[in-house]
Chain A
Amino acid sequence: MQKRLHKSRTTMLVAWAVVIAVGGLLVWVTQHNAQWYHEPIVRVTQVQTRSGTTVEDDFHNQDVQTKQILTGKILNGQYAGKTIVLNNVYSRSKAMDQRYRVGSQLFVTLHHHHGDLSGTVKDLKRDGPLVLMLWVVVGLLLLIMQFSGFMAFLSVALNGVLFLLAIFLNGSTQGARVLWIFGSLAIVFAALTLWLVLGATRQMLITLMTTLSGTALALLIALLVFHFTHEKGMYYEAMEYVTQLPRPLFLAETLLGSLGAVMDESTDIISSLFALKRERPELGAAQIFKSGRQIGSTIMGPLINVLFFIFVADTFPMGILYLRNGNSWGYTFAMNMSMGVVQSLISGIGIVLAVPLASFLASRLMTKKVTL
């Protein structure tokens, strides 16, 4: 026993060492992969900072703008190895600009003029932190959760691929059928994810039915409310990055956003009810329904919160900018947070509806004898 424990500890240490080594290697690659890019990349080797100038805008916001003179080496393309001098201006708030450091890798546009090479900085190369964090997630999942972690990652990855395909499909139809595409996608998403988590079982079928009907009902209620309130206080123009008709896009966003949480809730309730029925087969449908309601009502609050923070925290930077630009609290809320709040409320309705739906469907459709 003692020996086995010792052995498993050694295996764990080796596993951690391998994960950390692979992570280090991946990050090293992102620092030396300039050849993979067509755009010229410069690594900053020297930074000279000029003194800053204070600027003030119409709302008496003060900021300091500072000029940097960056010396760097071109890493790729036909001028690889050449040294170049670049200018950069950054502000204290850095909302739209950057303060670059020695070692920063930058995408630049090169200008060749009478034998002089000059350039302008476009943006920072950011694949390093992205790859690092992705590896941290995958590594931790595998180290702590092993097989279950792998399955969780697999289902997210598969959903990601489906999501990309749907976006390309949406693009090829000019966004005319966004709600149809993402509506059918939601069904595929839910079926695939639940199949991966639960396998093709009766439990999976009941959970799928709950998830789909809960999400659909919530959207239906939302549409009814929209109809009777004439969408008062909803500002579609406040949505970000909109390139197509905003209303169906908003509904598609809400549908996708709430799907995962409704699925989470239904899975929790129904698997607990199945376990309960396994332990106490004598329980009748009414008692099962009651327990389901009890389990569901303790988890619904925190779950609504999860989505609320995801939907609304995202508007934080723009909200602050609005407030600093002399806008009232009400206007800032309307133009930034109102759509997120509507989305949270609709998802909340879906999450709450999933409780009676899951309890009802499980209590009626569970067979008398539940097999493992």
Chain B
Amino acid sequence: MSTISVLGLVLLLLMALVGGKAGIQSFLALILNFGLLFLAMVLVAFQFPALTVTLVVGLLVLALTIFMSSGDDLSSTVAFIASAIVLVGLILVIVPVEHWAMAQGFGPEDSEDLEGLSVLVGVSFTQVAIATAILSTLGAIAEAAMAIAAGLGEILEQHPQVDTKSLLRDGIDVGKQIIGTTFNTLFFGFFGGFLALFIWFTGVHYSFGEILNDKVFVAEILMILFAMVSVILTVPITTWVMARAVTGQRRHQAAVTAKKDDQK
């Protein structure tokens, strides 16, 4: 058996032991997410428009991740809507910055890996770079949105009559609690992946200015920064969506009670 399947089985076993049915469901979500990511890659390689593919796949990934790993209805719906808004907002940030930075495709550091490959393949690598940046932050957006929505859901459970203004403040407070550890998850996650690249830079003695303007370096750092921006934006946006949802619910409830009173 290959290493990947054994490691996968170990993970499945552990998730089932620790989380029971929910654990198995989360594992399933992970597999499906991998399938979606691979599908996106194949579709873009078949010259489907990268941005559209990414947007559709991104929404599917968010829905899968959020609805398959949490039960509470209001929080997950809020988390999904909020993360979808963040996704669209993120695209508005990423597209102009990527066009400005022109950090798409491959750099001189990749030449060894590119040996024997044709790079004139007719697929716009600017679009691919935008897609890559968006896809790499999907997990972080979903996680942050779920954490904020769950925290607010708990507050609402304990104080059902909390007014919108304090709910907004509570949301930011929940965000303050998670931002430190979330940033570190992103930092370590990305820097773990870039370790080899950074070692390369010191080994080949790039100057500071060369590193700061290097295509591959800028592309990687921009990915971390996009992920951080999306996590920060997730906090107020999730809170806002939750406040709207709660207000809507209350108005609905008030209408229902008024109707009942009328019938009496």
Contact = CB atoms under 8 A, between A and B. Distances in A.
A137 B1 CA distance: 44
B122 to A, nearest CB: 5
Interface residues of A, number: 138
Interface stretch (B95-103, B245-253, B254-262): B95-103
Give chain B's interface secondary structure class.
helix
Given A94-B124, A126-B101, A140-B229, A257 B193 contact: yes
A349 B169 CA distance: 36
Contacts of B183: 152-153, 155-156
Contact-size category for B: 35 or more
A61 B121 contact: yes
Interface string A24-54: 0000000000001111000000000000000
Interface in A286-305: 293, 296-305
A182 B175 CA distance: 30
A122 to B, nearest CB: 10
Given A141-B232, A258-B192, A316 B215 contact: no
B33 A341 contact: no
Interface in B198-222: 198-200, 202-204, 207, 209, 212-215, 218, 221-222
Contacts of B214: 123, 126
B70 interface: yes
A188 B150 CA distance: 31
B134 to A, nearest CB: 8
Give chain A's interface secondary structure class.
helix
A119 interface: no
Contacts of B181: 197, 260, 263-264, 267-268
Contacts of A124: 101-102, 213, 215
Interface of A: 36-39, 55, 57-59, 61-63, 65, 91-96, 98, 107, 123-130, 132-134, 136-137, 140-141, 144-146, 148-149, 151-153, 155-156, 159-160, 163-164, 167-168, 170-171, 175, 182, 189, 193, 196-197, 221-222, 225-226, 228-229, 231-234, 239-244, 249, 252-261, 263-264, 267-268, 271, 293, 296-314, 316-325, 329, 332-333, 337-338, 340-343, 345-346, 348-349, 352-353, 355-356
27 contacts: A96-B114, A126-B213, A130-B212, A130-B221, A145-B176, A148-B180, A149-B176, A149-B179, A159-B184, A229-B6, A233-B5, A256-B195, A260-B185, A260-B189, A293-B18, A298-B70, A303-B143, A305-B138, A306-B185, A308-B30, A312-B34, A320-B123, A321-B106, A321-B121, A338-B4, A352-B15, A355-B19
